Amino acid sequence: MKKNQSKEKIGLHPVMVLLLLCFITIIISGVLSFFNVQATYNRVSTITGDYVVTTEAVTSLFNLSGLKYIFTTTVANFANFVVLSHLIIILLGIGIMVKSGFLKTVITMLTKKAKKTSVTYVWILICIIASIIGDLAYIIFIPLGALLFLYGKRNPFLGIVTTFASLTCGSALSIFLTSIDSSLLDYTLINAYIFDSNYVISSFGYILIMIVSIVLLSLLLASITENYMAKKMPKYDFPEEDIEDDLVITKKKMRGLIYSLSAGAIYLLIFIYNIIPGLPFSGKLLDYSQDLYIDKLFSYDSFFSNGFVFIVAVLFVLLGLFYGIGAKTIKNNKEFIDSLGYSLNGIGKVLVMIFAAATFINIFKESNIGNVLAASLANLVNNSNFSGFPISILLFLVTIIATLLLPSPISGWSVLSSTVPTLMQVGVSPEFAQLIFRFGNAVAIGLTPIFAYFIVYMAFLGNYNQSDKPITLKRAISYQLPYALMTAALFLAILMVWYVVGMPLGVGTSVAP
C-alpha cells in the first residue's frame, strides 16, 4: 500500500510533460516526414470559388532547419503569446478587487443565502453566454470562478473545473452570431456556393436550437458538478481569513460598494454607448468596414476587440480602487500599487508553465500534423457512403478527433468545411453541417493541451493545490472527461431530435438544404 502511495506522489510535473511532448512531436514529425505522410483533399478557393486540390504534408522538425526554427522563434513566440499578456493584465484588476475586499464582499452577499445548486447553475449559464466574447472568457472567468467558490465557502478546485468545463462545452452556444461563427460562415458559404451561388444564411439562423441547447447544457453541467464532481475534488483547507461565519456589512463597506458600483456603472455606460450605432456621437469603437454587427464589434481591426482585455482590466481596477477608497481598505498610492500586484504573487511557476505550453503549441503547429489529420478525416467523410443522420454522426465524431490535434475552430473548419458539398448532396444543409462541427469542437477542446487556454486552467488548479502531488496533465484532463462525455451525449441527442423531427434551427434555416 505504501509503495502505491509513493508511486502516486511521483508524477510528472505538467511542465515536464509539455517538454517531453515537444521532443516527441519533433521526433514524430521527422518520422512522418521521412515516410512522406500527407493528405490531399479538395477545397474551394476563396478567390475563384472553384475546387482546388490541396495537399497537407507533415513538416519535419527533426533536422537542421527544424532546429533553427525552434531556436529562432521560441523567445519571440513566448513574448507574443497572447495568453501570457492577457492573463497578467486581467490579474492586475483581479488583484485589487481581492485585496481591497470588493470581491469578497460582493460574492458573500450574493451567495450567503442562496442555494449552492442555484449559484452553480447561474454561474454555468453566465459562462456559457460569455462565449460571445470568444477566448477572452477563459482569462476572465477561470480566476473569478475560483474566487466565487472560495468566498462561497466551497472548494475553489470545483469552481475552476466547473468554469473551464462550462466555457469549453458551451463554446459552441450563442444566441447571436459570434466573431468565430462569422468566420466559420465564410468557409461554409464558399462551399455551399458550389451548388447554389445565391445561398444565404440568416444572422438568426441558429437562435431556436441555441436557446434549447443553452438551457439543457446548463442543467446538465450543473447536475454533473453537484452530483458527481463535488465528491471527487480533493479536500481544501480554507485560510482563516476566508472562513468567517458571517460577513458584517459595515457603513464603510456599504460606502465602498456605492462608490465602486457607481464608478463601474459610469465606466460601462460610456463604453456601451460607444458600441451602439446610430445614436448621436455613438458607435466610436466599432469597425465600420465590416457588414455584420458582431464583426464591427469583434473584428481583428476593431478598437473594442483589440482593447477588450484592457477595458475589462480597467473596470476591475476601478471597482477595486473605489471600493478601497470608500471602505478605507486602500489609504494611499502605495497600497493601491501593492494591491495591483497582489494576484501576481507567486506567478513564477505559472510563467514556467506558460513558457512550456507556448513552446509545445508552436512546435506542434509548425509540424502541421493537425492539418494532415484533419484533411485525412475530411476525406473519410467525403468518401463515405453514408447519408442523412449517419453521415452527420460521422462528421461529429471526426470533428472530435480532429479537435484534439487542431483545437482552433477556424483552422479546423477551414479544412473540414470541404465536407459541406458532400453533405448537401445527401440532404444535410450547410448550416446543420457547421452546427455539427461546432458541437464536436466544443466537446473535445477542453481535453487537449494543444488548446492555448488549457494551460490557464492547469495553472489555476496548481495555484490552489495544497498537496505535495502536482496537478498532472492526466489529472487535469480526468476532471474534464465526465463533462465532455455527457456533453457529447446531449449534443448528439439534440442533433438527432432536430434531424428526425425536422424543426427549423432558427430563422430561415433547417436541417435540409
pLDDT over threshold 80, residue 296? no
Q: What is the pLDDT of residue 207?
A: 92
* Helix and strand element counts for the chain (H, E): 24, 2
Which residue in the block uniquely carries the three cell numbers 438568426? 204
- The residues that bridge with 44 in the sheet, in sequence order, are 51
pLDDT band at 511 (very low <50, low <70, confident <90, very high): confident
DSSP label at residue 270:
H
- Range among 73-87, 142-156, 365-379 rated most confident: 365-379
Domains of the chain, by residue range, sit at 8-501
Q: Model's pTM, two decimal places?
A: 0.92
d(CA 88, CA 372): 34
DSSP label at residue 453:
T
Q: Which three cell numbers stand for residue 32?
A: 512522418
Which residue in the block uniquely carries the three cell numbers 463601474? 264
What does the pLDDT look like over 436-495, one tens digit per residue? Answer: 999 999 999 999 999 999 999 999 998 888 777 778 899 999 999 999 999 999 999 999
d(CA 387, CA 404): 25
Choose among 372, 410, 385, 412: nearest CA to 396.
412
Q: Which three cell numbers stand for residue 351?
A: 510563467
* Strand duo 38-44 + 51-57: pairing: antiparallel
Choose among 473, 510, 491: nearest CA to 397.
491
d(CA 304, CA 311): 8
What does the pLDDT look like over 335-389, one tens digit per residue? Answer: 899 898 888 887 888 899 999 999 999 999 999 999 999 999 999 999 998 888 9
CB atoms under 10 Å from CB of 359, counted, come to 21
Find the length of the chain.
513
* Torsion sign, CA atoms 257, 259, 262, 263: negative
DSSP string, 145-158: HHHHHHHTTS-HHH
| 8 Å CB contact between 484 and 443 | yes
d(CA 374, CA 413): 9
What does the pLDDT look like over 220-262, one tens digit per residue? Answer: 999 999 999 998 888 888 776 555 545 667 888 899 999 999 9
Q: List C-alpha distances in Å: 365 to 25, 36, 259.
A: 10, 18, 47
